[in-house]
Amino acid sequence: MLSRTLTESSTSTVKSAGFQVSQVRYRRTLAYPFYSKAGNIPPARKGRKQTVFKRLMDQFLGPKNYKGEYYLNKYAYPKNNHTPNYIDPRSERGNALLEPLSEFDTVDETENDSSKRRNNNAFRPFPLNSKLSTNFQVDNETKIQIVNDILLNKMPSQQVAIKYGLKIQRIEAILKLREIEEKWEQEDKINGDLKRMSQAMYKMFPIFNPRNNAENLTEIPIPKETLQSRFLTIAESEPFGPVDAAKEFNLEPAAVTLEKLSEGGEHSLHHEATQTKNDGSFIAPMHEGDKYAFKFTPVKVGKVGYRYGKVNRDNRKDRKVAYDAAGNKYYPLE
């Protein structure tokens, strides 16, 4: 009776325009892993009623020690050889143990060639997405060399970027983080827990290698205006290049953008030139019809003119009156 009620509630009939349409609700199916079809499902433990998913989970986790840790599972502890520890179900097929405990925990290497596949997907958090990969961190020795080259050897950031294959923004970030680290050391903010966490994170992420992982120094960010297509009708003989395309999107040419990115940074040649030549003064742009050009120079407040916000009592009846040496009357500023 109960099954009949559930069936009737899940199926409904709609009568419209002289015909009947049967609507059946979506029936969910259990998502068994693909390797469970190969027959490597471990048997249930003695005296326990376990589902297939519970048995597969026990197979994946493995046994516990007296601390409650899955000591045989290779994902239970962080790695310390500068390699990430991503789960790869296509090559593991449910076997995440360092040592197989039974025949159900073994993996057929000849069928899937899991060792090669594991090496190829070592830096992919999602094995099926080949476009997403783990970023590489700069080792401590290279960071010290970058700081010495810029601060001690006075090398510009552009030259250091070419030397190590890193973008200027990343080099500036290394210098800024080094400055913050020295400040924290002086203020005694770096305790033992922070050092241990830093060392554990450093050992987990892969190391940057300029030969294999050099960054593209000519790469520019994609403007949001170019994410949508724009069509333009032109003559077949009319030339149309990247500069014309930039004008259609109301953008500056890519060469200008790349030049600005290469000149950016606190330790670049362009920044040092502007710091030495420019004292802060500038001439305001002139428009059509203007007769004079105004130059603005930074000065210290109080030395030139009157301080902003000084009380002026010219329109007050009780304003202060004074006389100069010649006896002329004037109203001084209070």
3-class secondary-structure state, position 144: helix
The confidence score (pLDDT) of residue 109 equals 46
b/e per residue 22-43 (b: at least 16 CB within 10 A): eeeeeeeeeeeeebeeeebbbe
Which residues are paired to 330 by β-bridges? Answer: 322
The confidence score (pLDDT) of residue 101 equals 63
The confidence score (pLDDT) of residue 148 equals 93
Burial class (CB in 10 A: 0-12, 13-18, 19+), 62: buried
- Can you say whether the dihedral through the CA atoms of 100, 103, 104, 107 is positive or negative? positive
Here the tokens at position 152 are 């001690």
Q: Extract the residue ranges of the chain whose pLDDT is less than 70.
A: 1-26, 37-40, 99-121, 262-279, 302, 305-317, 333-334
Burial class (CB in 10 A: 0-12, 13-18, 19+), 115: exposed
Dmax (CA) of the chain:
118
The confidence score (pLDDT) of residue 25 equals 66
Q: What is the mean pLDDT of the chain?
A: 77
The confidence score (pLDDT) of residue 212 equals 84
Which residues, 6 or more positions from 80, have their beta carbon under 8 angstroms from its beta carbon? 200, 203, 204
The confidence score (pLDDT) of residue 241 equals 85
The confidence score (pLDDT) of residue 124 equals 86
Can you tell me the distance from the alpha carbon of 245 to that of 218, in angstroms, rounded to the nearest whole number? 19
The confidence score (pLDDT) of residue 147 equals 92
Phi-psi group of 329: left, alpha or beta (phi > 0 → left; psi -120 to 50 → alpha; rest → beta)? beta
Q: CA triplet 218, 220, 226: central angle to 5 degrees?
A: 140
